[in-house]
């Protein structure tokens, strides 16, 4: 096609010029009356044919020269795609998808992938023909948002916004972005539509490769897709893949054990990795190092931290920066408590003291001399099962139910309310339990329990027949402590009789959270501890904002000797209590990109909350984003969606009594995996899109323009014309030499 | 008389006269070397004495010297020939060509130049008291002044030359053959022409003339433009003799043209020289006196040894 077709006609017209000159020249001559015709005739006869050929040759050369010049001025291009107009380039509607997941923070030392992607996107926008519109979307793991969700004609604005774009700590899944981009283009029925996907070669983003390919294939005739891959493959990366509180409840003033999990995502073993832990950005409270992490595996380390005061704290574990800095630290929000209030409901109080079903539980929760019980942070209240119906559960952080026979409907409603607000329930069955009600109401109807109670097995009266607990491969966070026998001892407990727990749902498969009939989010049942025969001994599930734990055996020593083994029972109970209390913290820890939702007190409805992002200056009023606490499904909720950045978010709620909160967003550790998109996939992708592996030295604008309008040929034409002109001059000189 | 003006250039005459005196010896000597002169022994004009050597004819002894000095001297005499020179000038249309003004700006055609040459030669010959016959021809002899030895006849000659206007094509060979048939006595035939005819036939005619024992001198008159072909651009050449037009870019065929001319001249010259005929190229851009005196000096140089 020609970009300036008018000039091509000019060129065609110009071709007539040498012909005219040629013809005019033939008419313009000198007349000489000549005597020596005979010599002349011979010469002419000898030469006329040659002269004519030479003339024709020169004429052809000159015509060609002008034609080429005209063509060159017309800016011809070898077309490759996109419909073109006769006057200049077609306006394009483009969507630029800029991958801002944290793998894009990988840097080669000089520039991060994201900076390169910004450069690339900038060049993409600048390559758009005048009058084009562009939409810029960020592609990461969830619904793609972006500074320009709908195409704008203000290309300079687009470029500025691309310049100012910040990388997030999200993971990548490019498919939603591609889909959104195609939808946006679909709505804007421009003649030329282009989709630009600027991303790195991380395989993770392409996990829905088939879908991406399919949708690009479908849209192919309408939308031209460019995939710009930036960044060079990274072979080494260590990241803090997990950080959690491992000891019991986070109580002020007590040293708390945190587990830091480091993962080596690289291809070679990494040695001597130093890890630090700090609270609220202060000096590290503890540090340690891991000798060696083999390639592709994870190792954990226990570090201690202490909270000085009650309330929300941000705990950060960090390692030295490597090429991918985003995953070198991980922050969780932990709510520090000054005391933990526990309600023990005794289904078989007996005569009290040792006979009480809750005797061992109470002791385990208060593992201090009697004189210090008042100072101890655990505040334990024991009530008999009969009082459960009237008891208020809300003041308690956790409720332990030991061998309670059955529950009134009002109690069950109270459980539901309690759990919704973040309470924790622990069920210890026993002889008194009406398994039917447990199973039908608690387990099946309300889905409180993670499992149903099957037949009880074993004989409690025989000491010689017992079942032991598993002694290794503890997966659940509550039990993970015992993975390290050196520090935690062994679970040498004899179980003489227990219920068979039948999990309500698959532990490994299915969604983490499902909604029950009442619209409450119910977590997948998970096994905490198993017997050596593999059957579950302890299970838990989340329910609403709370958590429910179910044991297979009794809380007292009727069916087992757990209570008699404080070295096992105390940490187990404390870990369980910690898990229940922490459940309230779960709401404070979201994955990057997930919505933060905080269940507020009813009095706070309509109040404003100021949320400050990680890294922003707390004193800076412009850094804080205002949100209002609203009523969602009759629940007062503070929600915040823009959790694109990992780290601690500070929330200040302006009420009569100002409330401050800390919540934290953790990046998806999967994003740290830097596996590359397979070559086969790249070539597969090339079938539906233009794939460019872009280096900073390349001129992407040119590349794109060439692809859009084809290669401009005028340079070549001009060059040929020049060569022709030279040839013409030489030939003309040579021809006009006397012969 | 006005038309005769310019045919005799005083400078040319002046310079040619001095040379022409010697030329006569040359002609005579040349003739004597080649043919037995019928006039030998009838010496008329004394030239010098020579000492007697045995074998000399004692009839030529100078008795008076012998009687006075007792020495033997022979009297030597200048042989006086009264050869007839035929000056034939080509008056065909092709001779009308003249390119640039010479010497004073006026265009000199080959014919004019030839007329001047013919007039000068005639004058020279008459002045030497030899006889000359002048003719102008194209296809045949058109204007002819019969043999005359009288210097006064130069006026007739010049008149005839001046009044001739070319009208027709040339046929040199025909004229030469005719002339050869007419000439009874050995003499010199001087051909002044551009020779734009078939050179083989011209050479045949010359041979015919030479066959009778006479000498032939060919003055090949060429215009400088014909020799150099200095045209450029687009030129249409219109034939003088032939009604023909050729449109060409002369610059591009110049070499070929020059080659043609050179080879033609070479052929003519070679043919002439084979027949012991002097061939002299006459470039009309050169002054007549230079050319003529140059040629006469050449004759003198080559034939008075």
User: What DSSP string runs through A542-567?
Assistant: EETTEEEEEESS-SSSSSBSSTT-HH
Flag whether pLDDT at B32 surpasses 50: no
- Cβ B133 vs Cβ B124: under 8 Å: no
Per-residue CA distances from B157 to B165, B176, B270 (Å): 15, 20, 32
For chain B, the three-class secondary structure string (H helix, E strand, C coil) is CCCCCCCCCHHHHHHHHHHHHHHHHHHHHHHHHHCCCCCCCCCCEEEEEEECCCCCCHHHECHHHHHHHCCCEEEEEECCCCCEEEEEEECCHHHHCCCCECCCCCECCHHHHHHHHHHHHHHHHHHCCCEEEEEEECCCEEEEEEEECCHHHHHHHHHHHHHCCCCCCCCHHHHHHHHHHHCCCCEEEEEEECCCCCHHHHHHHHHHHHHCCCEEEEEEEECHHHHHCCCCCCEEEEECCCCCEEEECHHHHHHHHHHHHHHHHHHHHHHHHHCCCEEEEEECCCCHHHHHHHHHHHHHHHHCC
What are the residues facing A195 on neighbouring strands?
A95, A225
Asked whether the CA dihedral A729, A734, A737, A739 is positive or negative, the reply is: negative
Chain B residues with CB-CB distance to A30 below 8 A: 231, 233-236
Whether residue A738 and residue B260 make contact (CB cut-off 8 A), yes or no, is no
- Best mutation target, B99, B260, B265, to test chain A (most A CBs within 10 A): B260
Option in A32, A36, A43 nearest B196 (CB):
A36
Look up residue B20 and give its two tokens.
Answer: 């022409």
Q: What pTM was estimated for this model as a whole? A: 0.58
**Among A390, A420, A386, A425, which Cα is nearest to A406's?**
A386
A292 Cβ contact partners less than 8 Å away, ≥ 6 residues apart: A269, A270, A271, A272
CA distance B62 to B41: 14
CA distance B89 to B138: 9
Residue B247 forms contact with A (CB below 8 Å): yes
Flag whether pLDDT at B101 surpasses 60: no
Angle, CA A161 vertex, CA A160 and CA A162 arms, to 5°: 90
Whether residue A739 and residue B256 make contact (CB cut-off 8 A), yes or no, is yes
Whether residue A29 and residue B233 make contact (CB cut-off 8 A), yes or no, is yes
- Best mutation target, B91, B93, B229, B253, to test chain A (most A CBs within 10 A): B253
Residue B169 forms contact with A (CB below 8 Å): no
- Cβ A671 vs Cβ A200: under 8 Å: no
Provide the pLDDT for residue A539.
92
How far is A26 from chain B, CA to nearest CA, in Å?
7
Whether residue B246 and residue A42 make contact (CB cut-off 8 A), yes or no, is no
Look up residue B224 and give its two tokens.
Answer: 């400088």
Residue B220 forms contact with A (CB below 8 Å): no
Residue A708 DSSP class: H
Residue B234 forms contact with A (CB below 8 Å): yes
How far is A735 from chain B, CA to nearest CA, in Å?
7
Chain B residues with CB-CB distance to A26 below 8 A: 234, 247
Q: What is the pLDDT of residues B170-183, one digit of tens each?
A: 888 888 888 888 88
- Best mutation target, B224, B249, B254, to test chain A (most A CBs within 10 A): B249
Chain A residues with CB-CB distance to B239 below 8 A: 34-35, 37
Phi, psi torsion values for A665, nearest 5 degrees: -115, 135
Provide the pLDDT for residue A711.
60
B89: Cα separation from own chain's centroid: 9
Per-residue CA distances from A582 to A377, A547, A586, A589, A636 (Å): 16, 9, 6, 10, 21
Chain B residues with CB-CB distance to A739 below 8 A: 252-256
Q: Which parts of chain A register pLDDT below 70?
A: 1-5, 76-90, 141-143, 189, 487-488, 618-619, 708-712, 738-739
Does ipTM surpass 0.90 in this model? no
Flag whether pLDDT at B18 surpasses 70: no
* For range B19-36, the mean pLDDT: 37
Residue B172 forms contact with A (CB below 8 Å): no
> Which B residues, 67 through 126, put their C-beta within 8 Å of a C-beta on chain A?
93-97, 110
Residue B233 forms contact with A (CB below 8 Å): yes
Option in B234, B240, B253 nearest A35 (CB):
B240
Chain B residues with CB-CB distance to A32 below 8 A: 231, 235-238
Chain B residues with CB-CB distance to A48 below 8 A: 248
Count Cβ atoms below 10 Å from residue A51 Cβ, excluding itself.
Answer: 18
Angle between helices A209-219 and A174-187 (to 10 degrees): 20
Exposure letters B171-185 (e unless 16+ CB within 10 A, then b): bbbbbbbbbbeebee
Burial environment of residue A650 by CB neighbours within 10 A (0 to 12, 13 to 18, 19 or more): buried
Provide the pLDDT for residue A709.
64
Helix then strand count (H, E) for chain A reads: 14, 35
What are the residues facing A652 on neighbouring strands?
A610, A660
Residue B231 forms contact with A (CB below 8 Å): yes
Residue pairs between chains A and B whose CB atoms are closer than 8 Å: 107
For chain A, how are helix, strand and coil distributed in percent, rounded to 5?
Answer: 30, 30, 35
Flag whether pLDDT at B56 surpasses 90: no
**Among B109, B83, B85, which Cα is nearest to B157's?**
B85
CA distance A300 to A258: 10
Query: How high does pLDDT run on average in chain B?
Result: 77
CA distance B40 to A287: 150
Q: What is the pLDDT of residues B197-210, one digit of tens each?
A: 888 888 888 888 88
Chain B residues with CB-CB distance to A42 below 8 A: 256, 260
Phi, psi torsion values for A87, nearest 5 degrees: -120, 95
Provide the pLDDT for residue A548.
92
Chain A residues with CB-CB distance to B220 below 8 A: none
CA distance A441 to A430: 17
CA distance A365 to A361: 6
Confidence class of residue B2 from pLDDT cuts 50, 70 and 90? very low
């Amino acid at each position: 096609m020609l970009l300036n077709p008018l000039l091509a006609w000019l060129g065609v017209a110009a071709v007539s010029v040498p012909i005219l000159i040629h013809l005019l020249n033939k008419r313009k001559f000198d007349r000489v009356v000549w005597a020596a015709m005979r010599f002349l005739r011979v010469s002419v006869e000898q030469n006329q044919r040659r002269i004519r050929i030479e003339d024709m040759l020169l004429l052809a050369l000159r015509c060609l020269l002008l034609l080429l010049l005209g063509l060159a001025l017309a800016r011809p291009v070898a077309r490759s795609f996109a419909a073109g107009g006769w006057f200049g380039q077609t306006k394009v509607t483009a969507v630029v998808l800029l991958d801002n997941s944290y793998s894009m923070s990988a840097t080669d030392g000089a520039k991060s992938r994201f900076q390169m992607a910004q450069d690339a996107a900038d060049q993409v926008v600048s390559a758009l023909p005048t009058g084009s519109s562009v939409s810029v979307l960020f592609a990461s793991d969830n619904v793609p948002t972006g500074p320009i969700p709908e195409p704008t004609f203000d290309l300079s604005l687009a470029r500025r916004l691309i310049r100012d774009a910040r990388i997030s700590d999200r993971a990548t899944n490019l498919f939603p972005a591609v889909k959104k981009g195609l939808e946006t283009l679909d709505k804007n029925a421009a003649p030329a539509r282009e989709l630009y996907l600027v991303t790195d070669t991380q395989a993770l983003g392409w996990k829905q490769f088939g879908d991406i390919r399919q949708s690009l294939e479908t849209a192919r005739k309408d939308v031209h897709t460019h995939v710009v891959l930036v960044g060079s493959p990274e072979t080494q990366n260590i990241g803090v893949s997990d950080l959690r509180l491992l000891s019991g409840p986070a109580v002020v003033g007590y040293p708390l054990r945190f587990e830091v999990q480091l993962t080596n995502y690289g291809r070679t073993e990494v040695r001597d990795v130093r890890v630090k832990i700090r609270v609220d950005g202060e000096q590290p409270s503890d540090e340690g190092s891991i000798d060696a992490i083999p390639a592709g595996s994870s190792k954990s380390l226990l570090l201690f931290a202490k909270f000085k005061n009650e309330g929300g704290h941000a705990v950060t574990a960090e390692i030295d920066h490597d090429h991918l800095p985003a995953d070198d630290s991980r922050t969780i929000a932990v709510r520090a408590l000054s005391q933990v209030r526990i309600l023990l409901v005794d289904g078989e109080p007996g005569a009290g003291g040792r006979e009480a079903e809750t005797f061992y539980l109470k002791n385990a929760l208060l593992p201090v001399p009697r004189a210090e019980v008042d100072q101890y942070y655990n505040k334990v209240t024991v009530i008999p099962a009969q009082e459960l119906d009237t008891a208020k559960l809300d003041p308690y952080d956790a409720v332990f139910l030991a061998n309670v026979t059955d529950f009134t409907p009002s109690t069950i409603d109270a459980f539901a309310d309690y759990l919704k607000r973040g309470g924790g329930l622990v069920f210890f069955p026993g002889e008194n339990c009406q398994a039917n009600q447990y199973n039908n109401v608690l387990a099946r109807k309300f889905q409180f329990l993670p499992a149903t109670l099957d037949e009880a097995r074993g004989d409690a009266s025989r000491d010689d027949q017992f079942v032991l607990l598993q002694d290794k491969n503890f997966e659940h966070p509550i039990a993970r402590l015992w993975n390290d026998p050196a520090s935690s001892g062994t679970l040498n407990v004899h179980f003489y009789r227990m219920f068979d727990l039948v999990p309500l749902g698959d532990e490994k498969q299915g969604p983490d959270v499902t909604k029950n009939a009442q619209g409450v989010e119910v977590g997948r049942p998970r096994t905490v501890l198993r017997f050596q025969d593999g059957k579950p001994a302890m299970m838990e599930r989340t329910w609403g904002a709370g958590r429910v734990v179910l044991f297979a055996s009794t809380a007292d020593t009727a069916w087992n000797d757990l209570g008699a083994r404080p070295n096992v029972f105390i940490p187990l109970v404390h870990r369980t209590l910690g898990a229940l209390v922490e459940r309230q913290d779960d709401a404070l820890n979201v994955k990057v990109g997930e919505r933060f939702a905080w269940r507020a007190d009813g009095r706070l409805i309509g109040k404003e909350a100021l949320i400050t992002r990680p890294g922003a200056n707390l004193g800076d009023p412009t850094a804080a984003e205002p949100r209002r606490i609203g009523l969602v499904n009759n629940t007062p909720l503070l929600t915040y969606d823009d959790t694109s950045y990992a780290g601690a978010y500070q929330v200040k709620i302006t009420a009569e009594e100002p409330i401050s909160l800390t919540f934290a967003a953790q990046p998806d550790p999967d994003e740290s995996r830097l596996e590359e998109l397979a070559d086969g996939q790249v070539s597969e992708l090339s079938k539906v899109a233009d794939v460019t592996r872009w280096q900073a030295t390349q001129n992407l604008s040119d590349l794109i323009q060439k692809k859009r309008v084809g290669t401009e040929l005028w340079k070549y034409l001009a060059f040929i014309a020049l060569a022709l002109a030279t040839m013409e001059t030489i030939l003309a000189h040579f021809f006009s030499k006397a012969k | 008389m006005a038309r005769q003006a310019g045919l005799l250039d005083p400078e040319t005459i002046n310079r040619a006269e001095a040379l022409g005196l010697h030329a006569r010896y040359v002609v005579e000597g040349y003739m004597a070397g080649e043919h037995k002169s019928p006039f030998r022994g009838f010496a008329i004009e004394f030239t010098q004495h020579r000492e007697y050597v045995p074998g000399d004819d004692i009839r030529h002894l100078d008795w008076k010297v012998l009687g006075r000095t007792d020495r033997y001297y022979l009297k030597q005499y200048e042989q006086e020939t009264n050869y007839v020179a035929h000056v034939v000038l080509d008056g065909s249309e092709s001779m009308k060509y003249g390119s640039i003004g010479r010497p004073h700006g006026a265009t000199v055609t080959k014919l004019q130049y030839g007329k001047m040459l013919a007039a000068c030669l005639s004058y020279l010959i008459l002045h030497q008291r030899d006889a000359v016959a002048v003719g102008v021809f194209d296809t045949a002899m058109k204007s002819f002044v019969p043999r005359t030895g009288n210097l006064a006849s130069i006026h007739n000659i010049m008149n005839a030359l001046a009044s001739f206007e070319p009208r027709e094509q040339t046929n040199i060979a025909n004229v030469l053959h005719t002339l050869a048939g007419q000439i009874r006595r050995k003499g010199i035939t001087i051909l002044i022409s551009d020779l734009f005819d078939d050179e083989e036939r011209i050479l045949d005619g010359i041979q015919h003339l030479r066959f009778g024992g006479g000498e032939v001198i060919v003055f090949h008159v060429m215009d400088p433009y014909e020799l150099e072909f200095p045209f450029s651009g687009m030129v249409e050449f219109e034939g003088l003799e032939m009604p023909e037009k050729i449109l060409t870019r002369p610059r591009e065929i110049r070499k070929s043209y020059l080659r043609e001319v050179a080879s033609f001249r070479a052929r003519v010259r070679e043919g002439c020289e084979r027949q012991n005929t002097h061939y002299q190229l006459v470039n009309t851009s050169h002054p007549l006196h230079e050319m003529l005196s140059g040629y006469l000096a050449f004759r003198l140089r080559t034939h008075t040894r």
